[in-house]
Amino acid sequence: SPIISFKNISKEYSRNKVITKALDNISLDIEKGDIYGLIGSSGAGKSTLLRMINALEVPTSGKVFVKGIDINEISAKQLSMLRKDIGIIFQDFNLLESKNVFDNVAIPLILKHTPKNEISTRVAELLKFVGLEDKALSLPKELSGGQKQRVGIARALATNPSVLLCDEATSALDPNTTESILELLQRVNLELKVTIIFVTHTIRVIQKICNKVAILDGGKLIEHGRVIDVFSNP
């Protein structure tokens, strides 16, 4: 059974009496182990759909199931537990600028009251995995964009999630840095067995790492399936 399932999802925003249909009857299954791409132009509804997976957005109608659980029908406590199983990384990294790399990665562990010695071991292991073992004491402003995203990835993985959401995670990076971040995400998928959902507006990124893709346009699901079927390689 799918790890994430969208069933007839619609989302309407109303502002100044103008209604925007951000998502229009989307049904989609994401299987365990997928690197699933969500592609479409700006305003297509990609971020809205992504943020429904950890209930940062709630559908106007339809249901979102994560591991078979309807995430809009659970208690606040259950939702907080579910969110520890779903990591997220962002285009602009969202690091705390006043905290060093170690402390940024430690945040999710501090929030779940992990003992100090366990935090040290775990953060060291995460920094090694992302290739930043020598940057623990650096501040975000001392890092390149690619290094900042590696910190974002380490922080997102701190609680050992089974799902990683990537919201335009390489859109602020140059092509070479994008390549290296995509290779790291492939290792996250293969070595750590993390299911990845990757929002982007770039086909090349999808072709590089995704096995499946859904194309959104104006809130509608235009096409979905295996990347090799949806985008035939030139």
Residues that bind ligand ADP (CB under 6 A): 13, 15, 20, 22, 40, 42-48, 168
Cβ 123 to ligand ADP shortest distance, Å? 30
Distance CA 115, CA 84 (A): 17
Distance CA 20, CA 18 (A): 7
Cβ 103 to ligand ADP shortest distance, Å? 27
Distance CA 23, CA 45 (A): 6
Nearer to ligand ADP, 123 or 230 (CB): 230
Nearer to ligand ADP, 44 or 105 (CB): 44
Cβ 15 to ligand ADP shortest distance, Å? 5
Instruction: Report CA-CA distances (Å) from 3 to 19, 29, 102, 189.
Output: 32, 8, 31, 14
- For residues 93-107, b (16+ Cβ closer than 10 Å) or e, as one string? bebeeeebbbbbbbe
Nearer to ligand ADP, 34 or 168 (CB): 168
Nearer to ligand ADP, 128 or 204 (CB): 204
Cβ 4 to ligand ADP shortest distance, Å? 17
Cβ 170 to ligand ADP shortest distance, Å? 13
The sheet that has 61-66: what strands, in order across it?
A: 18-30, 4-15, 61-66, 69-70
Nearer to ligand ADP, 92 or 174 (CB): 92
